[in-house]
């Protein structure tokens, strides 16, 4: 009997050793989900690399840097259909004073330089009765921009663990841009400015991203609605206490 079992075990081992190895099947799909496109920030940020420590989290972009990135994207999109050919000379001027006009001016200058347009810059609005006198050269259009809003908003807090709470912020740039013929003030073209971007940074880094010189680029840190958390805890505690009291008073 023992010899029979030994022979059966030996035959089983030989069969396992001689069995062909199993191969995993490979499947190929003719199509699949598209790779997500780069974010607007990644497209606009072409000249500044984030500062990274050897060990630790990345230093966040400041509110001013983030606003500049959004303004770059807004200016690039707004001028897509503008009738400004390479070699054209234009005058760039704001329609109103705004403490952050320099952000939008810088964005327009970079986009116009990329398109090969020569630009003369004015830092103050051009009066309507002085357009023809100041810019009477034929073929030199007046490119005027209006910065309606450039602001930072802290939307909400994300996360609950101590040291892991992050602030979700939105950078928004809105306004308008137009092209006028200087001799007659005839409007040749108009465009809209509107772009926003949302990212997150650590709550402990608020002082790193804000600057006191630009109130529009600051916001108060949002507070949590603790009632949504405290109320269920209180209800559960009361119910648990009543249940415990009931069982304690049973004979």
One pLDDT digit (tens) per residue for the chain, 251 residues: 555 555 655 566 566 555 555 555 554 545 555 544 444 444 444 445 555 555 555 678 899 999 999 999 999 999 999 999 899 899 999 999 999 999 999 999 999 999 999 998 988 888 766 665 555 566 688 999 999 999 999 999 988 887 788 999 999 999 999 998 887 788 999 999 999 999 888 898 899 899 889 999 999 998 876 645 656 676 677 777 776 776 676 66
Q: What does the alpha-carbon distance between residue 135 and residue 143 come to, in Å, rounded to a whole number?
A: 11
**H or E segment at 147?**
strand 142-158
Domain that holds residue 53: 38-238
Give the SS3 label for residue 134.
Answer: helix
pLDDT at residue number 54: 52
DSSP structural state of residue 226: T
Q: Does any domain span residue 249?
A: no
DSSP structural state of residue 61: P
The number of folded domains in the chain is 1
Provide the whole-model pTM: 0.67
Q: Does any domain span residue 5?
A: no
Q: Does any domain span residue 17?
A: no
In the chain, DSSP assigns E strands to: 89-94, 118-121, 142-158, 166-181, 186-202
CATH number, domain with residue 110: 3.40.50
Q: Does any domain span residue 178?
A: yes
Q: Does any domain span residue 91?
A: yes
Q: Does any domain span residue 172?
A: yes
Q: Does any domain span residue 25?
A: no
Q: Does any domain span residue 60?
A: yes
Using alpha carbons only, give the angle 76, 109, 70 rounded to the nearest 5 degrees.
45
Using alpha carbons only, give the angle 194, 195, 200 rounded to the nearest 5 degrees.
150
Q: How many helices (H) and strands (E) does the chain have?
A: 7, 5
């Amino acid at each position: 009997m023992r010899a029979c079992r030994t022979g059966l075990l030996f035959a089983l081992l030989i069969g396992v050793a001689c069995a062909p190895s199993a191969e995993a099947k490979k499947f190929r799909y003719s199509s699949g989900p598209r790779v997500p496109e780069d974010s607007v920030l990644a497209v606009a940020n072409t000249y500044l690399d984030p500062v990274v420590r050897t060990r630790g989290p990345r230093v966040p972009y400041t509110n001013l840097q983030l606003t500049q990135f959004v303004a770059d994207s807004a200016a690039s999109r707004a001028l897509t259909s503008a009738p400004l050919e390479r070699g054209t000379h234009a005058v760039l001027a704001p329609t109103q004073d705004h403490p952050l006009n320099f952000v939008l001016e810088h964005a327009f200058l970079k986009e116009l330089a990329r398109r090969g347009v020569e630009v003369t810059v004015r830092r103050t609005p051009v009066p309507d009765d002085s357009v023809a006198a100041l810019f009477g050269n034929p073929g030199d259009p007046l490119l005027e921009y209006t910065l309606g809003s450039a602001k930072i908003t802290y939307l909400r807090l994300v996360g609950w663990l101590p040291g892991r709470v992050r602030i979700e912020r939105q950078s928004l740039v809105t306004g308008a841009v137009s092209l006028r013929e200087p001799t007659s003030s005839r409007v040749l073209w108009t465009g809209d400015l509107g772009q926003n971007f949302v990212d997150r940074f650590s709550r402990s880094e608020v002082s790193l991203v804000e600057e006191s010189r630009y109130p529009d680029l600051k916001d108060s840190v949002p507070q949590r609605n603790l009632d949504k958390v405290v109320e269920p805890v209180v209800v559960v505690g009361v119910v648990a206490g009543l249940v415990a009291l009931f069982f304690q008073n049973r004979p």
